Amino acid sequence: MPMGAPAAAAGATIADRVFDQLRRAIVEGEIPAGSKLSEPVLAERFAVSRGPLREAMRRLESSNLLEWRANVGARVVTLSSERLLELYQVREALEGMAARLAAERMSDGAVEELKALVQQHGRDVARECWQAYFQQEGDLDFHYRIVIGSGNLRLVRILCDDLYHLARMYRCQFGMKSDRARDALKEHALIVDAIAGRDGELAEWLMRRHVRASCANVKRRLAAEQAAAGTEASS
């Protein structure tokens, strides 16, 4: 099941379609962070009435991609390093839980599909596609499948419907092209082995360590960027 499957599936409403299209435009930076959203402009752009558009915008607010400000209206969230690091803290706890539950509940067939996904990602990285792997959906799709495999609908809503799109927004717009793709893939493989071995305690520990390592890498990159900016400003 690919991450963020389009809302064009059978039974999708007009609001579903607008939500999916508007979310993609925000995540990929077509609508920049901090932008004010005009209902008349968006209604014309997506060829919809105000009702479905407002429903889609309310859902985007629930997904933490939009925020409403008094006397201003709806704006795309403003990204910051502090909010990014908070996101990693939440992911570490919740994804650790998801990995433990997946080891207990994921079907044998789903585990085999997860193994195949990691093998495909390994081939992608071997072809020097590691930048795209992180910039696009590859890495998050691995995490997404584990959360789905946990069988916990609350975790699915929090992580897959909300936090992963916010995480991808940071990656796309901050240029979070990781240089640790190969290490991350090795960590993914260990997590899959623990899930396949039905060792929930180990799977949780490995997942928490994996997310924590990613967070540490982001902190180093942010510190390096801030140092470079300070040097440039003083020169």
9 is a domain residue: no
CA atoms within 13 A on the CB side of 151: 9
| Predicted model pTM | 0.82
User: Of 31, 47, 76, which residue constitutes the final position of a domain?
Assistant: 76
123 and 187 inside one domain: yes
Decide which of 76, 101, 121 is a domain's last residue.
76
Average pLDDT over the chain reads 85
Beta-bridge partners for 75: 36, 67
Q: What mean pLDDT comes out for the span 108-112?
A: 96
In tens, the pLDDT along 46-95 reads 899 989 999 999 999 988 899 988 877 899 998 888 988 999 999 999 99
> What is Dmax (Cα atoms) for the chain?
59
pLDDT digits (tens, 9 = 90+) for 197-214: 999 999 999 999 999 998
Query: In this structure, are 208 and 98 located in the same domain?
Result: yes
**Claim to verify: residue 160 and residue 55 sit in the same structural domain:** no
Tell me the CA distances in angstroms from 124 to 117, 160, 181, one per residue in order.
Answer: 11, 23, 10
Q: pLDDT confidence of 149, banded at 50, 70, 90?
A: very high
Q: How many domains does the structure of the chain reveal?
A: 2
Residue 90 and residue 137 share a domain = yes
Shared domain for 97 and 187, answered yes or no, is yes
Determine the pLDDT at residue 176.
56
Rounded CA separation 145/210 (Å): 16
For the cut 90, the answer to whether the pLDDT of residue 132 exceeds it is no
| CATH number, domain containing residue 30 | 1.10.10.10
Whether 64 and 93 map to the same domain: the answer is no
Q: Are residues 25 and 94 in the same domain?
A: no
| Residue tagged 């599936």 (tokens) | 9
Report the C-alpha gap between 203 and 194 in whole angstroms. 5
Tell me whether residue 141 is in a domain: yes
Percent above pLDDT 70 for the chain: 85
For 31, the domain range is: 14-76
| Last residue of one domain, picked from the residues 76, 106, 127 | 76
Q: Are residues 87 and 72 in the same domain?
A: no
Residues 85 and 198 in one domain: yes
Cα distances (Å, whole numbers) of residue 81 to 6, 30, 133, 169, 207:
29, 21, 22, 13, 22
Closest CA to 196 of 120, 130, 135, 107: 107
Q: 65 with 122, same domain?
A: no
Residue 133: which of 200, 170, 173, 180 has the closest Cα?
180
The answer to the question of residue 2 being in a domain is no
Instruction: Cite the beta strand spans of 80-216 per DSSP E.
Output: none
CATH number for the domain that contains residue 143: 1.20.120.530
177 — pLDDT class (breaks 50, 70, 90) = low
Within this chain, do residues 141 and 177 fall inside the same structural domain, yes or no? yes
Q: What is the mean pLDDT of residues 221-232?
A: 77
Residue 74 and residue 68 in contact, taking contact as beta carbons nearer than 8 Å? yes
Given a cut of 70, is residue 139 above it in pLDDT? Answer: no
The rounded distance, in Å, linking the Cα atoms of 203 and 102 is 9
Query: What does the pLDDT average to over 31-46?
Result: 91
Nearest to 171 by CA among 52, 91, 53: 91
